[in-house]
Amino acid sequence: MNKNATRMLTGFIMGTIAMACIMIGGIALLLMLAVIIFFASKEYVKILEHKGFYPSLKIILASEAILALITYFDRTEYVAGALTLCTFASFMWVLFRGRQPYIANVSTTILGFVYCGYFPLHLQLLRDISSAHFNDGLGFVVMMFTAILATDVGCYYAGTKFGKHKLAPVISPNKTIEGSIGGAVCAVIGAVIIGFFIDKFFGGGLPWYTSAVAGVICTIFAQIGDLCESLIKRDAGVKDSGDSLPGHGGFLDRTDSFIFTIPVMFYFCKYFVFSTVAVDLVKGLF
């Protein structure tokens, strides 16, 4: 009970801070992302060092800082150039400063600033997205968070009660197909409910089926993100990414479901939900 209470308290505090920063947006959201990305990157490097690889934490953090400025000022036209520059820096570090001149250290450095930094930073873009139909992406950020949390709850309870068939026995033996389906159902229901409130209070004519598709997207990539982080930890032979969050492990353990979901949700909203052409096309079909 003490462990569960600690876990619940930590989750409540984290959730409250995260939601407050998301609601405020701007610099508050950037600072929240900076803290999460900083600790997640340190945990990532520590996991890889346990495996015997030595990615450069300095290159990872510097690359993430550049990408954070680009996303904060919404200058996405510079992303390709920034990724190119950061990739060059990763090679240069291994060539001239690396602890071991192994190509794996280049690869893991590049993966580090993409996985721990670039993907999560799409949250800033999603929060600030706007169109003629919606003023910003706040409602869709809430929808995404709701779908992911509903996925976790649904997976746990459906897996506990009905779970028989393993989803990924080698990577995560406790996850089941039945639990995955239960999580998906809860995610879609949660997304549709939030979509109803978005349509009612923010306008824009958001159809229920668009919310349902968003729920499907969120639950799929939340579960994939969870499995991918488990893959990294299992390959490195560690149980948790860290111990920074009492009852939850590390920052990577707590945010793994969001890492892949955030960029996919952003591009779904950008090219389908917020796109005037796409919205008019869908309305014409139905």
Helix axis angle for 251-259 and 208-236, nearest 10°, is: 140
One digit per residue, the tens of pLDDT, for the chain of length 286 reads 466 667 677 778 888 899 999 999 999 999 999 999 999 999 999 999 999 999 999 999 999 999 999 999 999 999 999 999 999 999 999 888 766 778 899 999 999 999 999 999 999 999 999 877 788 899 999 999 999 999 999 998 999 899 888 988 888 888 999 999 999 999 999 999 999 998 887 766 789 999 999 999 999 999 999 999 999 998 888 887 877 777 667 899 889 999 999 999 999 999 999 876 555 555 555 4
Residues 11 and 93 in one domain: yes
Q: How is residue 201 written in tokens?
A: 């209070």
- d(C-alpha 183, C-alpha 85), whole Å: 40
pLDDT of residue 203: 66
Residues 117 and 138 in one domain: no
Q: What does the H/E/C string look like for the chain? A: CHHHHHHHHHHHHHHHHHHHHHHHCHHHHHHHHHHHHHHHHHHHHHHHHHHCCCCCHHHHHHHHHHHHHHHHCCCHHHHHHHHHHHHHHHHHHHHHCCCCCCHHHHHHHHHHHHHHHHCCCHHHHHHHCCCCCCCCCHHHHHHHHHHHHHHHHHHHHHHHHHCCCEEECCCEEEEEHHHHHHHHHHHHHHHHHHHHHHHHHHCCCCCHHHHHHHHHHHHHHHHHHHHHHHHHHHHHCCCCCCCCECCCECHHHHHHHHHCHHHHHHHHHHHHHCCHHHHHHHHHHC
Residues 69 and 30 in one domain: yes
Residues 218 and 282 in one domain: yes
CA dist list (Å): 177 to 33, 212, 255, 261: 32, 20, 22, 20
Residues 108 and 139 in one domain: no
Query: Which residues span the domain enclosing 56?
Result: 1-128
pLDDT of residue 204: 63
Which residue type occupies 65? A
Residues 117 and 154 in one domain: no
CB 109 within 8 A of CB 93: yes
- What does pTM read for this prediction? 0.90
CB 68 within 8 A of CB 121: yes
Question: Of 128, 151, 181, at which residue does a domain stop?
Answer: 128
Overall domain count for the chain: 2
pLDDT of residue 130: 84
Question: Of 128, 160, 180, at which residue does a domain stop?
Answer: 128
CB 162 within 8 A of CB 178: yes
pLDDT of residue 2: 63
pLDDT of residue 284: 53
Residues 263 and 162 in one domain: yes
pLDDT of residue 279: 52
